[in-house]
Amino acid sequence: MQNKKVLLGMSGGVDSSVSAILLKEQGYEVIGATLELFSNNSGNTNNHLDVKNVCDLMNIQHFTYDYKNEFRKHVIDDFIDCYANCKTPNPCIECNRHMKFGVMWEKAKELGCNYIATGHYARTEYSEEYKRWVLKKSNAGKKDQSYVLWNIPKELIEHILFPLASFENKEQIREIARKNNLKVADKPDSEDICFIPDGNYKRFLENNSKMMPKEGNIVNSNGEILGKHTGLYNYTIGQRKGLGISYSKPLFVLGFNKIRNEVIVGEEEELYKKEMTVTDINLLLIDEIKDWMPVQVKTRYSSKVADAKIRQEGNCIKVVFDEPQRAITPGQSAVFYVGDIVLGGGKIV
């Protein structure tokens, strides 16, 4: 008999709570797992109570695991290091790789589970065409989260369940929660970085690293000094507001010179690039890209896909877009799609 035991990551939100309902309806033996990742006493306590209420209501076994040290090492330290090196990170991607689909999978195996599940809007299925398990977009349109899952281990895909894959909007999820009398049915989505609940990442960096405001020059592409900045980590590529510069045309952040402590600005057309290089690559669909390959690319979570061709060059991937793309940002992830299937991805250099 097939092992239908699954460890479900539960945050206290409506997505993971409804995932528990759906998995039970599909005949899985569900165990809930909550990962304690950082210290935020009030928020954590409320979320833990919500998880406990759901698990008690559904008669699901539940465990809480303390992974604060691992989260600090793999997610928070990476977040700080990126900003220290003039990159803009996406901490959810590192959390998925190391925590939800890293340490949680190890815990699942210890508990005798054949699967792990989360409330992500994504899909896994076996592809006859590629003769392997693949990660695909969900039906959720703009809320699809396949973008933040590109760097999970490909051998794990066949052991991952995404119960919300077929839903098109959040209201459908909330309606299931209401029908099952879940108190979290109308709980608001959390939009901020989980370990920075007030959204003030600049203050977080100053409180948790050696980064402090350090004035330097704002210059244009020709090196002409146009003003002063308050610290490189206070700016991101594409930013227009808050530069404090008076100029004949709107100016945007184009990049940084860390050695000279400069913020480089320019006009909007200078933000567009047709090529980029991607490193730290993880290929899910194929083992190697041997020649130029047409794909669609997302360069940040909120962006639309863009047509491009890619080629692997050692440990990097060269990307050439059909049309120039705006505000390509080092540190963000580039994710490659073939239709609805995630080919893989990497970090923009």
Residues annotated as catalytic are 95, 194
152 φ/ψ angles, rounded to the nearest 5 degrees: -75, 155
Angle between helix 14-25 and 170-179 (nearest 10): 70
- Helix boundaries (H) for the chain: 14-25, 41-58, 68-71, 77-84, 91-95, 104-110, 170-179, 201-208
Q: What is the distance between the alpha carbons of residues 339 and 49, in angstroms, rounded to a whole number?
A: 41
3-state DSSP call for residue 20? helix
One DSSP character per residue, 318-334 reads: EEEEEEEEE---TTSEE
187 φ/ψ angles, rounded to the nearest 5 degrees: -65, 130
Q: What is the distance between the alpha carbons of residues 35 and 10, in angstroms, rounded to a whole number?
A: 8
CA angle 346, 204, 187 (to 5 degrees): 80
45 φ/ψ angles, rounded to the nearest 5 degrees: -60, -45
CA-derived radius of gyration, the chain: 22
- Nearest residue to 340 via CA among 280, 276, 279, 295: 295
Q: Identity (one letter) of the amino acid at 290?
A: K
User: 87 with 109: CB under 8 angstroms?
Assistant: no
- Nearest residue to 14 via CA among 175, 191, 198: 175
Polymer length of the chain: 349
CA 19 to chain centre: 20
DSSP state of 12: S
